[in-house]
C-alpha cells in the first residue's frame, strides 16, 4: 500500500494547520468525492440524531440494512462494517453501544484499527471520516483527532478527515 494522504477539513473558525496536506473548509461529508463515507452509529438500530440521522435520510436502504443487522446482534463497537450501493459505499462505524450512551475513546480506537485492517479486503479506494464520537457521543475533538490521525496514517488510501461542525450542527 502507498502512503495515505490525510486532508483535514475544518470549520472556517479554526486556525490553519502547519502540515501542507491539510486544508480549511466547512465541507459537508456528503459533498466529498470520497468513494466511501464513514457513518457514526450505535448498536441498537436507531439513527435519530446528528450525522447518523442525515445518513438514514439519504440512504434509507442502508438504514434498513443497519436496523436488521442490529436486530440480529451483528452491530458491535470495535467492528465497523461496509454497506455498498451502486453510487456510494458507507462504513457503519459503531461509536457507542446505545444511542443514549456516551462514546468511549477505546471503542473509537478499536473500531479504527478494525477498519484500517479491513479497508483493502473491502475494496475501499478513498474514505471520508467525520469526527467520530464528538457530536452526540460527547467526546472532545482534541482527544479524538490524534487517535483518528494515527490510524488513518496507516491506511494507504486517500482520506478526508472532517473536524466537528459548529455547536448545534450535529455529528455523532
The arrangement of strands across the sheet holding 6-9 comes to 6-9, 159-162, 127-129, 36-41, 89-94, 81-84
14 noted as active-site residue: no
Which of 14, 57, 96, 113 is catalytic? The answer is 96
Phi, psi of 152 (to 5 degrees): -65, -25
Bridge-based pairing state of the strands 159-162 and 6-9: parallel
Number of other residues whose CB lies within 10 A of the CB of residue 13: 8
The set of catalytic residues is 96
Amino acid at each position: 500500500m502507498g502512503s495515505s494522504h490525510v486532508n483535514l477539513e475544518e470549520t472556517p473558525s479554526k486556525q490553519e494547520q502547519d502540515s501542507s496536506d491539510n486544508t480549511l473548509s466547512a465541507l459537508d461529508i456528503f459533498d466529498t468525492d470520497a468513494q466511501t463515507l464513514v457513518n457514526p452509529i450505535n448498536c441498537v438500530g436507531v439513527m435519530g440524531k446528528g450525522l447518523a440521522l442525515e445518513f438514514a435520510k439519504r440512504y434509507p436502504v442502508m438504514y434498513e440494512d443497519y436496523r436488521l443487522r442490529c436486530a440480529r446482534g451483528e452491530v458491535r463497537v470495535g467492528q465497523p462494517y461496509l454497506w455498498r450501493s451502486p453510487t456510494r459505499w458507507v462504513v457503519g462505524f459503531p461509536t457507542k453501544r446505545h444511542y443514549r450512551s456516551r462514546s468511549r475513546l477505546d471503542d473509537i480506537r478499536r473500531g479504527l484499527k478494525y477498519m484500517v485492517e479491513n479497508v483493502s479486503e473491502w475494496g475501499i479506494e478513498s474514505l471520508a471520516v467525520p469526527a467520530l464520537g464528538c457530536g452526540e457521543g460527547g467526546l472532545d475533538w482534541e482527544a479524538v483527532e490524534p487517535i483518528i490521525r494515527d490510524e488513518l496514517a496507516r491506511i494507504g488510501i486517500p482520506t478526508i478527515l472532517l473536524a466537528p461542525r459548529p455547536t448545534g450542527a450535529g455529528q455523532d
